[in-house]
Amino acid sequence: MTTSNAIPSVKLLINGEFVESRTSQWRDVVNPATQEVLARVPFATTEEMNAAVASAKEAFKTWRKTPIGARARIFLKYQQLIRENMKELAAILTAEQGKTLPDAEGDIFRGLEVVEHAANIGTLQMGELANNVAGGVDTYTLLQPLGVCAGITPFNFPAMIPLWMFPMAIATGNTFILKPSEQDPMVTMRLVELALEAGVPPGVLNVIHGGADAVNLLCDHPDIKAVSFVGSTKVGTHVYNRATLNGKRAQCMMGAKNHAIVLPDANKQQTLNNLAGAAFGAAGQRCMALSVVILVGEAQAWLPELVEKAKSLKIGAGVEPGADVGPVISCAALDRVSSLIATGEREGARLVLDGRNPEVSGYAQGNFVGPTIFDGVTAEMSIYREEVFGPVLCVMHAATMNEAIALINANPNGNGTALFTRSGAAARHFQEEIDVGQVGINVPIPVPVPLFSFTGSRASKLGDLGPYGKQVVQFYTQTKTVTQRWFDEDEVGGAVNTTITLK
């Protein structure tokens, strides 16, 4: 760990103030293309984390009663500030995470869409009313905020995932504790600064940093009512179990193994372009990455062209013009990806494109691994069973679409899947029979826009409600039902009613 005073420190945000942590435990934020130390991030003390929760609890008393229009206007301002600072945000994200600049802007933009959705909270948080459910009796519902909520976000989308969480939580009247990834918190903190500039009041949004202790505190703290998590299956399962055991709501979006089926009638060039982009973009470090392609029938002959397409992608630092594949996040991540590639070879998969140890001029210390393709992969192999989280594509073969569907449905994960075809009948059969939460038809990464909700399923998700969209309004609110009757001043009272029936 570097401790030089010349290296800036990442601050905590408590009660509207950016404060220096008093911790003795720090971690370096490292540029994955150069190994340059960009900043130091603290592992907040228990006292600091408790202070953040206390600040949020106090702010909730007034924020929950803030007019819904006032809340919406903050997010109208916020989305404009994000647009105005897009280039700066993308540069920060690229430096600390490694994505190419276009990919970094895409990361921010998909979060921006949720901010825009939060600005429409006036219509999203409306209740329902039934008139005259009995004689002179009306019933209506109120969607009221829960209180203090928390979010734990991963390294691979340090802009998008925080923007999935705190804008909708705050827009619905809650206050929020955000714990970004300790590997790349800088762009998150810049987004938080812009949120305060947009008008988020002190205490409504707070930020802590740390590792397992911070995660556990958010799951255990009695004043926190709901926890949202995106990340690995191991940590997500721990968060869900611990949070729900403590009586909290929890939603956890976790690991995946996303498949695409390619039928012989698909548009070949469009399909190959989509496969390469979805498999190797963001260096494969996304839970919706396309990591398995199943070639059906005559489409099995397309493999050499897929390999050539992958070879044409440029490996380079995110700031390099024309770079398609940047570095993975850390040296440890590089070692893990390289180890899984070696394991794939040992277990009998045919390595038709080896991306290990690429030469990237000027970046000899970077965590680079290029597009890698295995053929002849089976469901028993480690390279298939484990989420590689790198630019590695497994190619499998099937005689029919039904055989391919059965293979996908046998996988424990259900995050995303896709079918490439020109046949409407095949597409409809696929969407009916596939047991996966997010389905693409000629769309390789079918993440829905915020008008809908992220709907991963099975082992890829714990909790009934997904992030953003209509579902997350339900997650961040509790329904209060009011049944009311008003009597006229001159109305004569009836007999004593000892039943609960309304007439």
| SS3 state of residue 281 | helix
- Which residue in this structure is represented by tokens 């893990």? 336
Give Cβ neighbours of residue 467 (< 8 Å, ≥ 6 apart): 164, 165, 168, 228, 230, 251, 253, 453, 454, 475
**Is residue 143 classed as helix, strand or coil in its secondary structure?**
strand
Element counts in the chain: helices (H) and strands (E): 16, 22
Which conformational region is residue 370 in: left (phi greater than 0), alpha (psi within -120 to 50 degrees), or beta? Answer: beta
219 included as an active-site residue: no
Whose tokens are 């180890």? That residue is 339
408-436 in b/e burial notation, b at 16+ Cβ within 10 A?
Answer: beebebbbbbbbbbeeeebbebbeeebeb
Classified as helix, coil or strand, 321 is coil
Buried b (16+ CB within 10 A) or exposed e, 147-176: bbbbbbbbbbbbbbbbbbbbbbbbbbbbbb
List the one residue out of 345, 395, 342, 390 whose CA is nearest residue 370: 390
Q: Which of 149, 252, 287, 394 is catalytic?
A: 287
Q: Catalogue the active-site residues.
A: 287
